[in-house]
A and B are shown apart, each in its own frame.
Chain A
Amino acid sequence: MAREALGDVEHFVLVALVRLGGESYGVPILEEIAARTGRHVSRPAVYLALGRLERRGLLKSRLGDATAERGGRAKRFFTLTKAGARELRQSRQAFTRMWADVEHLVDRAAR
């Protein structure tokens, strides 16, 4: 079966994780995506994406310590794996190749 390409949200999640220093948990990831894209990203979509990426080995997770502000619940920290970094790079390259020489055409169509 052909390897699945990264979806939009998965792509955003991986890039957000890189921006956050390679390891982070749900809240900063959600906030980073919202801040950078200026779009509302559905919470379930982000959690489902995190889950899928972990299944595919592109992320790994560990439980952190419980804190009072979280009602005594632990954070789940996600870390980018090497496979994840490779996948992200390939995805980015695919996008770049697709966009090569068409940006002005899109601009013209949008005018």
Chain B
Amino acid sequence: MTRPPRVAVRLLAWRLHPDHRDDVIGDLDEQFIARVSAVGPARARRWYWRETLDLVGGMGWRRDPFAIDGSRSRRVWMPDTWTLDLRHAWRSLGARRGSALATMAVFAIGVGLLSAIFALADPFILRPLPFARPGELVAIDVRSTGLSPDARIPTLDEWRARGDLFKDIAASRGGPTVQLKLADGSVMFRTGLVTENFFDLLGVPVARYAPWRATTWASTWRPSRAGPDPSDLAVIVTPHGRTALRWTADERDLRLTDGGAVRVAGVLSDTFLDLVGCDGLAAYEVGPVIDAYWSPDGSSWGYARHDLIARLQPSVTPDVVQRALAVPLPSGGRLDVTVEPLADRRTRAMRPLALGAFGAGLLILFVCAGNVANLLLARGTYRAQEFATREALGATRLDVARLWLAELGLVALAGATAGLAIAWIALHVAAGVIPAQYVALGAPDVSARVVAFALLAGAAVAIVGLVPAVLVSRVAPRTLLARRASTAGPRVQILRVGFGAVQAALAMVLAVGAAMLLQSSMNLLRRDPGYDGAALTVHVSYRPASAAVVDETVRSSIDRLKHLPGVQAVSATTQAVMDGQRGGGVTLDGRPGVFVFDTFVRPEFFDAAGMTIVQGRPLGEGDHDWRAVVVNQAFVRQYLPATPPLGHLLTRSARQGIIVGVVRDVLDGGLAAAPRPTVYSLMTEVPSPVVYVFRAIGDPAGYREPIRRALVAVNDDAVVSDVDTIDRRLRDSVRDRTFATLVLTMFCLAGGGVTVAGLAGIASFVVARRTREIAIRIAIGATGGDVRRLVAREALSAAVIGGTAGLLIGRWLSTWLTSFTYGVEAGNWTTAVVAGAVMLVVMVAAALAPAGRAVNLQPTEALRVE
């Protein structure tokens, strides 16, 4: 028999008065049964729900709906249903819109900031790894000391057989990078190697298309030995690999550039957390847990490690495993085994930072709760008389609390929603600058967890904020009706000022920090990189071939790129901007110990990159084999400060080069790095990757596709990376700093916003408490200035005391930030004082805003209201 919806019946049983509950639900059930046979169970259930909601909305809150006449005198003042409660709350909020909006803003700031931090920090603090029963998984790290060629190292299978410790154990390691040929060019494909039980152990579903078995090739491949590329490889493609390959499900066979094939044996879902970090996973077999190999004479050895992951038996702890496995080897030497939960391994590096940020966010949320309390206290004070009247007419405490709850519920919900919107915007703004290590466990987003967290945080703030407001509305009616509204005692006043001062100090510390980082960012962006920032660079990898072949390829590619419309100059270099250069010692005029960085370039490089030759000439075609070199200004400053630099002789190995030119310094170490002594010489050997540099007219984005096509047309094995401007690469070089600046600025804005609301709340509270007194003062001749002083005194004291303390603390703490700043000294008074002054002005304005309302008070009206 079909039953009525259980939840609906429960809802009715909860909502209806016990005296009538059974007969009303009984009637409904009886009609439901009739409807099931008439219109079918689904429609009958829908009907039941409609009737339930109708009854719940229309019959009051566990009140006897049949007793309305008898209790009308007591209940007439009170809305009878929750919908009416909400409507009442809406009207009441509208009546004091300013304070409602301020409360909402405080909610939004606190919840928004904390939610954004939560989204970032959650994977490192709370969220379990996305594997089946992640608590059972451990990472095992094996190292060895004192190995000898005859040492017998246990095999993975022997460990797997330890049923007392493991349910299963699997291994993985990074594999070779192979070059794949796609329809429209080639890509580099990073492989990873895992044992066949890897996915079963993790409990990760794999969509399988073809057999996936360990091959001899994969099992014998070692990172340290360049082996032949595989001729036939079956891989399971990771989410990253799918993006890299622009892979579609119907494309199961990928071709290697040298003619071999890569078969797609399966594909992993988008949520797969890639522990190996690759594009595709091939299966391999593991013998000994340490892959040691010896030189033929046995005198030296090396080893290639595996990353081991195990699923432990219940009640087995990592310590037990560690002790059981770390035993001396029978044939000498020792295995050092470290076992730790897999989650710890993945989150260890980021967890302290995540916890720190989360703690700071909680602190701001706590301050928010205090401010909400203060703002509600002011509201409660205004309405204390209304509540007293209601209580005198028979409203219970619960009724008054319900009114508060409905009002606060609306404000909290609106605030939390706005907060989530703030978090969403903040995360999207930050998406471009979040350094990779912060998103190692997945990109942050406003997920269901974050929404749930935001609502929880909102509810917590609401509950903490509500307590004082409910307390104030519980003042005995006769006290208020007798117009003896108590003014807060000195202890409460000190507490309030103290709380305001703590906030002001916090806001000031954040302001000083954010100002330092902002100034540092501005300094960095103002730095002249020495390059033409709009010049484009593109990294291209070629398959290994003879130097002559690649050299010819590079020449042809430059020729072809020169003929693209709009391109003004093209050249190539071995070093990408900011990719790190190799350095080495040279001899200058016979003087050894001159350390320089090398940049190998093609002719016209300086022109293409927009670099200025300040003395002498650039490099030309005849300058190969180090016959002539160009140095930068940093080189001249360091090694030839007193003499004209041209004509000096640099010697490296057997080659000698004459300095023929000096080029302006460029920031090739990144925006934040100082220029280093650098020697530019013509490319003698062709590296991989080659970096093409070119200057072109107009929007760089428009050149991306033509450039890629031109490069592939010359050599269809070319793997072309993204085309990017030098500016963009420079900005990327300071991602860490930009992110830190963004985070601290967010904190500063939140702290500032909350403090502004807090100080305004203190002043509002004073106005609310002393409306009558102010009115009398105005009536007997007090000026606007007098009233402002009276109202803003508490808030201003808090702002000044807290602000000064915060300024000093902020300046002192700013030393912690020096690793993130450029051109700003720790303890820089100018920055601190400017930031402090701005913050102080904002805080004073916040304190004075409610005073404006008090000045405009009409004494007659105010006294009548009282």
**A and B associate:** yes
Give residues in A with beta carbon < 8 Å to B. 25-27, 30, 42-45, 47-48, 50-52, 54-56, 63, 66-67, 69-71, 73-76
Across the interface, do B23 and A76 meet the contact criterion of CB distance under 8 Å? yes
Residues of chain B within 8 A of A67, CB atoms compared: 26, 30
**Chain B contacts of A71 at CB under 8 A?**
3-4, 9, 25-26, 29
Interface membership of B33, Cβ < 8 A? yes
Give the secondary structure class of A's interface: helix
| A63 x B23 contact (CB < 8 A) | yes
Which of A30, A48, A74 is in CB contact (< 8 Å) with B65?
A48
* Residues in B neighbouring A30, C-beta threshold 8 A: 27, 31
Bound form: Cα–Cα A56–B70 in Å: 10
Contact of A51 among B9, B22, B51, B68 (CB under 8 A): B68
> Does B65 contact A51, Cβ atoms closer than 8 Å?
yes
Interface range on chain B (Cβ under 8 Å from partner) = 20 to 34
Pair A52/B26 contact, Cβ less than 8 Å: no
Q: Specify the chain B residue showing the minimal Cβ separation from A49.
A: B66
Whole-angstrom distance between the alpha carbons of A74 and B59 in the complex? 20
Q: A69-B29, A70-B26 are in contact. Are A56 and B20 (CB under 8 A)?
A: no
Closest Cβ of chain A: how far from B547's Cβ, in Å? Answer: 89
The complex places the Cα of A67 from the Cα of B22 at a distance, in Å, of: 12
Pick 11 A–B contacts, CB within 8 A, sort by A.
A25-B23, A30-B31, A44-B54, A47-B24, A48-B65, A48-B66, A52-B69, A55-B70, A63-B23, A67-B26, A74-B26
- Contact partner of B67 (CB less than 8 A), chosen from A45, A55, A73, is A55
Assess whether A52 is in contact with B68, with CB atoms less than 8 Å apart. yes
CB-CB under 8 A from B58, the residues of chain A are 42-45, 48
CA distance A71 to B32 in the complex (A): 11
B7-37 interface bits toward A, Cβ cutoff 8 Å, 1 = contact, 0 = none = 0010000000000101111111111010000
Q: Smallest CB-CB separation from A64: which chain B residue?
A: B23
Interface residues of B (CB under 8 A from A): 3-4, 9, 20, 22-31, 33, 51, 54-55, 57-59, 64-70
A75 to B22, CA, bound (A): 8
The CA of A69 and the CA of B64, in the complex, are separated in Å by 26
Q: Which of A47, A54, A63 has the most CB of B within 10 A?
A: A47
A66 to B, closest residue via Cβ: B26
The reply to whether A70 and B29 form a contact with Cβ atoms under 8 Å apart is yes
> Which among B3, B26, B59 has the highest number of chain A CB atoms within 10 Å?
B26
- Nearest residue, chain A, Cβ from B25: A73
Contact A44 B65 (CB under 8 A): yes
Candidates B3, B25, B54, B66; contact of A52 at CB < 8 Å? B66
Write the chain A residue with the least CB distance to B69.
A55
In the A-B complex, list the 10 residue pairs whose CB atoms are closest, starting with the nearest: A51-B66, A44-B58, A73-B26, A70-B26, A76-B23, A26-B27, A73-B22, A71-B29, A69-B33, A27-B27
Q: How many Å from the CB of B84 to the closest CB on chain A?
A: 14
In the bound complex, what is the Cα–Cα distance between A50 and B68 (angstroms)? Answer: 12
A76: chain B residues at CB < 8 Å are 20, 23
Residues of A within 8 A of B27 (CB): 25-27, 30, 70, 75
Which residues in B have their C-beta under 8 angstroms from that of A55?
66-67, 69-70
Return A70 CB to nearest CB of chain B, in Å: 4
Cα distance, A12 to B95, chains bound together (Å) = 41
Task: Assess whether A43 is in contact with B29, with CB atoms less than 8 Å apart.
Answer: no
- Is the pair A48, B59 in contact by a Cβ cutoff of 8 Å? yes
The verdict on A75 contacting B23 (CB below 8 Å), with A43-B51, A56-B69 known, is yes
- Which residues of A have CB within 8 Å of B22? 73-74
Could you tell me the distance between the alpha carbons of A51 and B71 in the complex, rounded to whole angstroms? Answer: 13
